[in-house]
């Protein structure tokens, strides 16, 4: 490491050599050259120094590496690739990852457009999510010190997670579906399963605890791969080795029991042909569209029955941790972020219970009376 004057005598050059890496920078003032070299030494001492040459790789190349490391469903991988090529690659694909700044990302998000005009907030959010993931991979790979996309938000994308039916609407909706398909809808709406989890259930996934309570062991998912083929993946969205135990409510026990044939490897909820359920075919056979119209929810999706379950559990129990466990969310804060709009109802119900519990237990003095009830308190003169 050294600082010396350039041959023409008009500038100063700082030279750095560390672990086989050579770097030099030219400055007009010697003070600036010394300062840069001092900063590099400080980074080396802290163990946070990064080889600048590693940050010169094109961001598009890192996208492919990031995508290869993602443990996600094939449909998610395919969607991320489509988002990258539609919105990100034109701006960031051919530039070095170390050249991307927070200001650059903000300008890109603000000006993002589709073929039909200005991109919708949800489109901007999805594009930002993919770029943020690539840059996070660059940080983990020691190519940049910090992720310039962290902290950037897209206005107008926060809201409820989906449509949730009330219990009265759920009763009407399920009754309108064709038997026996209404049973699957009831399981989705009370157990909070994802469709991919329900379709992957085998008979062996029905288990009892020591008290005889029935549970569904969620340990596989039936999803689309990148080629659009149905495949079964181990684990849940929380990870390959994770199993979630979902209690079977009394209303669902008869449904689960009657689907058990004693053959552990068979689907618990098969199609009429005995195969794994397919969402599109099931909706068609169940009369899904007519049932949606009956409750005035024309855009209802099977996944909205999961939101129905979360809403019902949270409103009835008020237990955020229980709902987190039911849904398989990684943290309670994730559950709160999705369903915080229900907490006012829960708090009101808790206040009513609190008032009922306190009724008659605390006798406070009436206004203007002393603690012994000896008349009003006299203010001293001149107070």
pLDDT tens-digit readout, 138-194: 988 888 888 999 989 888 755 556 789 999 999 999 999 999 999 999 999 999 999
Domain range list for the chain: 2-49, 59-140, 168-300
Query: How far, in Å, CA of 375 to CA of 35, rounded?
Result: 78
pLDDT tens-place string over residues 206-250:
999 999 999 999 999 888 766 667 778 787 877 777 889 999 999
For the chain, state the CA radius of gyration: 30
The residue with greater pLDDT, 325 or 228, is 325
Three-class SS of residue 104? helix
Report the interhelical angle of 121-140 vs 102-110 (nearest 10°). 160
Average pLDDT over all residues of the chain = 84
Of 5, 24, 22, 6, give the one whose Cα is nearest residue 14: 24
Which residues in 90-141 belong to E strands, given as ranges? 113-114, 117-118
Closest of 153, 147, 123 to residue 62, by C-alpha? 147
Which of the pair, 46 or 65, is modelled with greater confidence? Answer: 65
pLDDT for 367 beyond 60: no
Q: Are strands 220-224 and 113-114 parallel, antiparallel or unpaired?
A: unpaired
CATH 1.10.150 corresponds to the domain 59-140: yes
Quick one: pLDDT band at residue 15, thresholds 50, 70, 90?
Answer: confident
Quick one: which of 151, 131, 145 has its CA closest to 67?
A: 131
Query: What's the fold here for domain 168-300?
Result: hpI Integrase; Chain A (1.10.443)
pLDDT value of residue 353: 73
Report the DSSP pairing between strands 230-234 and 220-224: antiparallel
Q: Indicate whether this model's pTM tops 0.75.
A: no
Instruction: Name 236's bridge partners.
Output: 239
Element (DSSP H or E) covering residue 221? strand 220-224
pLDDT of residue 377: 46
3-state DSSP assignment of residue 74? helix
Q: Are 187 and 269 in contact (CB under 8 A)?
A: yes
In the CATH hierarchy, which top-level class contains the domain 2-49? mainly alpha
Supply φ then ψ for residue 291, to 5 degrees: -65, -40
Cβ–Cβ under 8 Å, residues 161 and 338: yes
- Among the residues of the chain, which ranges form H helices? 30-46, 59-69, 74-83, 89-92, 102-110, 121-140, 167-176, 181-191, 195-199, 253-258, 279-286, 288-294, 302-317, 320-327, 332-339, 343-358
């Amino acid at each position: 490491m050294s600082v010396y004057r350039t041959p023409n005598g008009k500038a100063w050059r700082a030279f750095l050599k560390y672990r086989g890496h050579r770097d030099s920078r030219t400055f007009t003032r010697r003070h600036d050259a010394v300062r840069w070299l001092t900063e590099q030494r400080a980074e080396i001492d802290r163990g946070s120094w990064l080889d600048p040459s590693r940050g010169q790789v094109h961001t598009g190349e890192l996208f492919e590496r990031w995508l290869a490391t993602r443990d996600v469903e094939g449909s998610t991988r395919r969607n991320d690739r489509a988002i990258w090529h539609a919105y990100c690659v034109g701006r960031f694909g051919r530039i070095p990852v170390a050249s991307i700044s927070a200001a650059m990302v903000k300008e890109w998000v603000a000006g993002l457009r589709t073929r039909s005009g200005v991109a919708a907030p949800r489109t901007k959010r999805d594009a930002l999510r993919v770029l943020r993931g690539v840059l996070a991979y660059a940080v983990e790979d020691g190519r940049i010190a910090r992720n310039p996309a962290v902290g950037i938000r897209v206005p107008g994308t926060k809201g409820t997670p989906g449509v949730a039916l009330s219990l009265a609407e759920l009763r009407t909706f399920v009754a309108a579906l064709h038997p026996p398909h209404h049973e699957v809808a009831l399981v989705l709406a009370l157990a909070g399963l994802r469709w991919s989890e329900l379709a992957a259930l085998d008979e062996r996934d029905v288990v009892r605890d020591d008290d005889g309570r029935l549970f569904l062991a969620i340990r596989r998912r039936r999803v689309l791969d990148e080629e659009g083929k149905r495949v079964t993946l181990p684990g849940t969205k929380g990870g390959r080795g994770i199993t979630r135990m979902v209690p079977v409510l009394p209303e669902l026990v008869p449904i689960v029991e009657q689907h058990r044939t004693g053959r552990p490897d068979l689907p618990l909820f098969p199609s009429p042909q005995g195969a794994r359920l397919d969402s599109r075919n099931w909706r068609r056979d169940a009369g899904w569209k007519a049932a949606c119209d009956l409750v005035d929810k024309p855009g209802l999706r099977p996944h909205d029955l999961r939101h129905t379950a979360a809403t019902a559990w949270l409103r009835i129990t008020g237990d955020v941790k229980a709902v987190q466990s039911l849904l398989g969310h990684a943290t309670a804060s994730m559950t709160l972020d999705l369903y915080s709009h229900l907490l006012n109802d829960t708090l009101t119900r808790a206040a009513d219970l609190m008032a009922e519990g306190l009724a008659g237990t605390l006798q406070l003095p009436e206004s203007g009376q002393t603690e012994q009830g000896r008349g009003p308190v006299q203010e001293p003169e001149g107070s």
